[in-house]
Amino acid sequence: MCGIVGYIGKREASPILLEGLKRLEYRGYDSAGVAVLADGALKLKKYKGRVTDLARNLNTASLSGSLGISHTRWATHGAVTEANAHPHVSHDGKISLVHNGVIENYLAVKKFLESTGVEFYSETDSEVFCNLIAYHYKKEAEDSPTRFLDSVRRSLRHIDGTYGIAVISTDCPDELVGARKGSPLIVGIGKDEYLLASDVSAIISRTSNVVYLNDGEIVSLKDGELNLLTNDEEILTPEIKQIDWDIAESELGDYEHFMLKEIFEQSGALENAMRGRFSDDKSSAKFGGLNVSAQELRQIDRILLCACGTAWHACLVGEYLIERYARIPVEVEYASEFRYRNAPLDKNTLVIVISQSGETIDTLAALRESKRKGYKTLAINNSVGSTIARESDGGIYQHAGPEIGVASTKAFTSQLHILSMLALYLGRLRDMSFQEGREYVEALKKAPALVTETVKLSGKILEISKKYKDMEDCLFLGRQDMFPIALEGALKLKEISYIHAEGYPAAEMKHGPIALINEKCPVIVIAAQPDIHAKLLSNIQEVKARGAPVIAVTNESNPLPENLVDDQILIPDCHRALLPVIASIPMQLLSYHIANLRGCDVDKPRNLAKSVTVE
């Protein structure tokens, strides 16, 4: 969960590396560092803290050189210290490395290297990796033109775990080497220059031409050449892809935070999710990249939805949508648990994984486990060229644009909307009528306008937030498809404001959680379903009887009695399939405003990173 940027070309490396790190900081912001090679000497600067702290303390003139690597860290092995920050340098000063991933056998490798006289200065597995490369470098023939590359390749054979690495050597001032296994790494191809990065956002300002590395591949960037090979020395032909989004999409613009910007971008994200995806007769959805025929889908007896974090909440909503409209049994699994289970799956099971980044390591492992057992696998993700997108049998691209804020907003509602469209598509393959399909499509097409209307509640929600910003505990309640939205609301509040929050099915409150309710514990109730409105009123009465403040989210046409709740947020009336999207927005805005009022770093919450690429 770290950011890697490497550069080799004709320009000064350090400004390019710093710019890339700033764009990658959402991947980790415990510490940062830069190493530049010039005149056979390695120039290194590391700093405990943010990339801005590094830049402020970095004299780029003193780090002059056109070959370099850089890193922004999210700690796995070792505390947040300058010594544990990357880049790491081998004990002999010849090799410098930045690494994303986890080396599982690092203690055994470290013990071996110590027996050869190597001294270590950090607690990290990455420094062990760096010194292993130095060890093999010494053993390679000095006159070999591929000495450096071979030392990296041989080291990889002794490594267990995951890695995305960029490596340079003082003896090779014109070569940058990268490799990946389980952690993303891409090559950016510019004019007379190459870049290595863990995310396209780091290089989009310099090029839109990229090569995505697959697991087990090594790249050598040298003398204006890109050489790609496997660990077994098989020469590969690089496949150049085009990045399909503009750098302006990842700029903050006039907004105070990326999270707020992305909340307001949700209307456009939903519009993009629908573009070109309705049938000519406007009675169903259509998807060009499923690679599964309608006949095959009609044979499906069960669907397994698999994801982590916010995407897991989207899966829970998807379960309600698909079962309601397509009448197909659905199960939802945490990807991190599924890979270690031996769950019995029917041969006619379809596995769908969801990951915004397409690189979530647990979700990728669940996908691979499903494919290994012969199940058809689809993916919903927001990153063309990502590992999950490339390894699934087919899928649906979100087109939501880059999401920089660590707490997911537009990616989440985009996933919900695509799952709603998928429920329609599967329903029309089964028993949903033509007229029902037409009405469903018309409802879906109203989503962007309804979202635009809902985000206008931001000012009202800010005023409500001022009343509750000092709370230390909060409960979110919802029923049926609003239960996952309650879970998501609680997660958002926890993530960015550090307030203890829990989400529950409203009727389950009396089976335990009600013991926590008192006048200091606000309760947020999503009461927007007319068919169970009376039941939710009863749940609210139970809360009020214990003296807790109640914030209700309900429909404009169905407001609650004023004396029943302390604050009320009225969202637009909408089709039931759209309700999860519309009801999510007040949850996002409430969490955002409370966190901002508490002085929290909304876009970079403590201990979190955007793309979880380590176990």
Q: Given the structure tokens 């691979």, which residue do they identify?
A: 368
Q: Exposed, middle or buried by CB within 10 Å (0-12, 13-18, 19+), for 245?
A: middle
Residues 421 and 497 in one domain: no
pLDDT at site 54:
85
Does residue 221 belong to any structural domain of this protein? Answer: yes
Q: How many CB atoms lie within 10 A of CB 253?
A: 8
Residues 106 and 235 in one domain: yes
Q: Is 510 a catalytic residue?
A: no
Q: Tell me which amino acid residue 308 is.
A: C
Task: Please state the domain count of the chain.
Answer: 3
On whether the CB atoms of residues 213 and 43 are closer than 8 A, the answer is no
Q: Which residues pair with 567 in a beta bridge?
A: 551
Residues 316 and 375 in one domain: yes
Residues 279 and 222 in one domain: no
Residues 98 and 190 in one domain: yes
pLDDT at site 120:
95
Residues 173 and 282 in one domain: no
Does residue 451 belong to any structural domain of this protein? Answer: no
Q: For 580-601, write each residue's pLDDT tens digit.
A: 999 999 999 999 999 999 999 9
> Residue 41: phi, psi to the nearest 5?
-115, 145
Separate counts of helices (H) and strands (E) for the chain: 19, 25
pLDDT at site 199:
87
Residues 408 and 513 in one domain: no
Residues 327 and 385 in one domain: yes
Q: Give the DSSP H or E segment for 539.
A: helix 533-544
Residues 398 and 516 in one domain: no
Parallel, antiparallel, or unpaired for β 302-307 and 500-505?
unpaired
Residues 529 and 434 in one domain: no
Residues 307 and 238 in one domain: no
DSSP state of 299: T
DSSP state of 192: T
Instruction: Give which of 85, 82, 62, 91 is closest to 73, Cα–Cα.
Output: 85
pLDDT at site 1:
60
User: Residue 597's domain spans which residues?
Assistant: 458-606
On whether the CB atoms of residues 603 and 404 are closer than 8 A, the answer is yes
Round to whole Å and give the CA distance between 111 and 128: 10
pLDDT at site 197:
94
pLDDT at site 529:
85
Last residue of a domain, one of 187, 216, 243: 243
Residues 359 and 336 in one domain: yes
pLDDT at site 613:
60
pLDDT at site 479:
93
> Residue 564: phi, psi to the nearest 5?
-90, -30
pLDDT at site 557:
85
- Cα dist from 119 to 45, 125, 168, 262, whole Å: 20, 14, 20, 47
Round to whole Å and give the CA distance between 202 and 361: 20
Secondary structure string (H, E, C) spanning 354-377: EECCCCCHHHHHHHHHHHHCCCEE
Does residue 611 belong to any structural domain of this protein? Answer: no
Torsion of CA 223, 225, 229, 235, to 10 degrees: -110
Does residue 614 belong to any structural domain of this protein? Answer: no
Does residue 348 belong to any structural domain of this protein? Answer: yes
Q: Residue 186 half-sphere exposure, CB side, CA atoms within 13 Å?
A: 29
Q: How many CB atoms lie within 10 A of CB 275?
A: 9
| Lookup: tokens for 392 | 């699934």
DSSP state of 406: S
Last residue of a domain, one of 193, 223, 243: 243
Residues of the chain whose pLDDT is less than 50? none
Does residue 495 belong to any structural domain of this protein? Answer: yes
Last residue of a domain, one of 188, 209, 243: 243
Does residue 450 belong to any structural domain of this protein? Answer: no
CATH number at residue 237: 3.60.20.10
Phi-psi region of 487 (alpha: psi -120 to 50; beta: other; left: phi over 0): alpha
Q: Is 2 a catalytic residue?
A: yes
pLDDT at site 383:
87
What pTM value is reported for the model? Answer: 0.88
- Residue 384 contacts by C-beta under 8 Å, 6 or more apart in sequence? 241, 244, 397
Query: Which entry of 110, 181, 261, 610 is annotated as an active-site residue?
Result: 610
| Lookup: tokens for 505 | 């099915």
Does residue 453 belong to any structural domain of this protein? Answer: no
CATH number at residue 309: 3.40.50.10490
